[in-house]
Amino acid sequence: MGYGLLAGAIVAEILATTSMKYSDGFTRLWPSVITGVGYVVAFALLAQALKTLQVGTAYAIWSGVGTAAVAALGILFLGETLSLAKIAGIVLIIAGVVVLNLGGAH
């Protein structure tokens, strides 16, 4: 159940962060509303997930997967540049989350 809540928190955070890009500095109503609601939902679901998951592991997954996904979405759909440094950064984030899940946070 905890990982399901965490997955929902990640999806909400990705939606909120992507919507923030479209809010044009919070000058566009609906993207701004989606950003606010998305972050509230993300934090609420993360808080519920922390009832059963370790905070270090859960936060690493939430922030790492969210960061990697938003970076990938930026490259795929928002015209952001792809560089070796970005690829390396995303790989290192994913590797860090994997290491924590394999026992680093136990």
Q: What is the pLDDT of residue 104?
A: 56
The mean-pLDDT minimum among 3-12, 24-33, 79-88 falls in 79-88
Task: Name the DSSP class of 79.
Answer: -
Q: Which structure tokens are listed for 62?
A: 């939430």
Count Cα neighbours of 51 within 13 Å in the Cβ-side half-sphere: 10
C-alpha 63/C-alpha 84 separation (Å) is: 21
pTM exceeds 0.85, yes or no: yes
**How many alpha carbons lie under 13 Å from residue 30 in its C-beta half-sphere?**
0
Report the distance separating Cα 20 and Cα 14, nearest Å.
10
Convert the pLDDT of each residue in 51-84 to its tens digit.
Answer: 999 998 899 999 999 999 999 999 999 999 999 9
